[in-house]
Amino acid sequence: MGSLGISESPKPWQGIVAEKQRAAKKLVPSGWLLPDAIWQGLTLPLEANPNRIIEQDIPRRSGILSTRELEITENYSTAQLLDALAKGTLSSVEVTTAFCKRAAIAQQLTNCLTEVFYDAALKRAKELDEYLAASGKPSGPLHGLPISLKDSFKLKGIDSSIGFVSLVNKPAEQNSVLVDMLLEMGAVLYVKTNIPQTMMTADSHNNVWGRTLNPHNTTLTAGGSTGGEGALIAFRGSPLGIGTDIAGSIRIPSLCCGVYGFKPTTGRIPFGNQQSPVPPGYSPIHPAAGPMANSFEALQLLTEAVISARPARHDSTCLDVPWQHLTPLPSSTRLTIGVLTDDTTLPFHPPVKRALDNACALLAEKGHNLVPIGPERSHVASLAELSMAAFTLDMKGGFEFIASSGEPVVPSVAAGAAPSRGEAMKSFWVEFDRLDMYHKIAALGGQIQRLKEEWRKLWNESNLDVVICPGAQHTAVKHDTYRYPAYTVFLNVLDYPACIVPLGKASKDLDATPGDFGDAGSYNPEDIDQAPTAIQVFTPNMRDEVCLQVGQVIDEVLNQS
């Protein structure tokens, strides 16, 4: 028995996985399986060939969804669905059925799901419809809405294997705190979504469920660790998903799959009772839970609903800070927006640089004041280095779970993703490597606090409302080649709220120059053509409401222009 209470399995891991996958397939109605004609139009194997799943309009061509179900999944925003569900103009049964069907199609094409519980979801939807009919009012702010969950969230009686064979067939004994809250607010939970082995890489690939593929191009990663959500939402198989983020795990799949994502300040949305690859209480950098969706509006909708329900009453790790109702910004508002400029040690790939330049041009055209912030002020590289040192204080990182079943390590975990140590902190690292564990923890804490203080000064000196930057040096990349996520993890170290806003796509014509970008890998225009591009929007710690408010202003400028 290991230190995490893991016992070795007497059955070979391959047999456990085969049984698990067979059981999962039996839960999908035969009428929801794609016809042979669809498969004949794809190039197999999917992950080795650039199938552009979204462009092929497979849900419509498959005949699995009715015209009404296609309309529900394609033409309604999350807010519009909630409004129609509350009024009864759409029933929860028909909305849930539509998204269950579309999720089943997404699974066959992108392998984005883990556990599915369609029958239980439809039963709950029917009960919610009956409640509305009897009472004349919705059951809560999320009444009747299907919501998908990252596999790490626990639902009583259902596995949260998080990609470890050793956790298969060990159903949760109680719900995660956020799961209980979503149910109290009227949500319908119907699927859980795929993640990486260890949950610490940007490729959602494990031996239990396999590899999640990007529906924009199946040779590219869907991101991680909430990659299943990214693929499912991009395919419009979910109107709203919940992920977690400790180094970019919401934001990376959002930018890879072209959807919206929000990482709040830690403690605003409850994280309690999740399945984790590390011992309880081990958090060198604190994780956050947050929403992913196809519209910016949905991010605020979910965040406001959860925070307004006072999650601290249910989760001792939550801050008991009420949702702040901000005065709407007048259309004449001109924001002061910091812009992180290119860093020679963390250079942007051409599509990423073009997307950021386009964002700046559109914002300047609307009269917003842009303030360049160079690498000597942003300290992105140093903060990323500190995060890696913090994460590797305990080198086990889930490997006990792997060893106990005898399963192999998947390629992205085996490759690792440590950033090169730069000149800015060279003397610190020389001294750090000589320290014992106690003094290493203290040294890391001291450096992190120093850089937090530098950022505090920067916000005040430049009178910034918000800062924008890329979410990564690159777009979605080939499987198992996503390197260390400097431009997301530095905000986890600072504990700043941050949003991903999709903006355009890579172009082999406009971004035509290939190159080698060091830690960020090589850039090949042909490989990445039409991959989604995005920008990241962030504010200081605990300014979540402001981040969402100004993020929506920025989104409107960028995506309505």
Q: Residue 61: in which H helix or E strand, if any?
A: helix 58-62
CA angle 2, 16, 231 (to 5 degrees): 95
Q: Answer yes or no: is 248 a known binding residue.
A: yes
What is the distance between the alpha carbons of residues 164 and 205, in angstroms, rounded to a whole number? 11
Reading the block at residue 406, the tokens are 């005898």
Q: Answer yes or no: is 228 a known binding residue.
A: no
95-113: b or e for each residue (b if 16 or more CB lie within 10 Å)?
bbbbbbbbbbbbbbbbbbb
Among 139, 148, 166, 225, which one carries the catalytic annotation? 225
The shares of helix, strand and coil residues in the chain, as percent rounded to the nearest 5, are: 45, 15, 45
What is the distance between the alpha carbons of residues 467 and 340, in angstroms, rounded to a whole number? 8
Q: Answer yes or no: is 249 a known binding residue.
A: yes
Q: Answer yes or no: is 224 a known binding residue.
A: no
Among 249, 378, 387, 412, which one carries the catalytic annotation? 249
Contact 156, 140 (CB under 8 A): no
Active site residue 204: no
Active site residue 404: no
What are phi and psi for residue 551, nearest 5 degrees?
-60, -40
What is the distance between the alpha carbons of residues 170 and 325, in angstroms, rounded to a whole number? 42
Who contacts 214 (Cβ-Cβ below 8 Å, separation ≥6)? Answer: 110, 220, 221, 222, 223, 230, 231, 234, 256, 257, 476, 531
Q: Answer yes or no: is 200 a known binding residue.
A: no
Q: Residue 150: in which H helix or E strand, if any?
A: strand 146-150
Among 20, 101, 148, 150, which one carries the catalytic annotation? 150
Distance from the first to the final alpha carbon of the chain? 59
Give just the sign of the alpha carbon dihedral 172, 173, 179, 184: positive
Active site residue 238: no
What is the distance between the alpha carbons of residues 480 and 482, in angstroms, rounded to a whole number? 6
What is the distance between the alpha carbons of residues 537 and 363, in angstroms, rounded to a whole number? 13
User: In terms of Cα–Cα distance, which of 494, 473, 461, 493 is closest to 371?
Assistant: 461
Q: Which amino acid is at 29?
A: P
Q: Answer yes or no: is 225 a known binding residue.
A: yes
State the DSSP code for 54: G
Per the annotation, binding residues for substrate are: 199, 225, 246-249
Question: Could you give the residue numbers annotated as active site?
Answer: 150, 225, 249
Per the annotation, binding residues are: 199, 225, 246-249
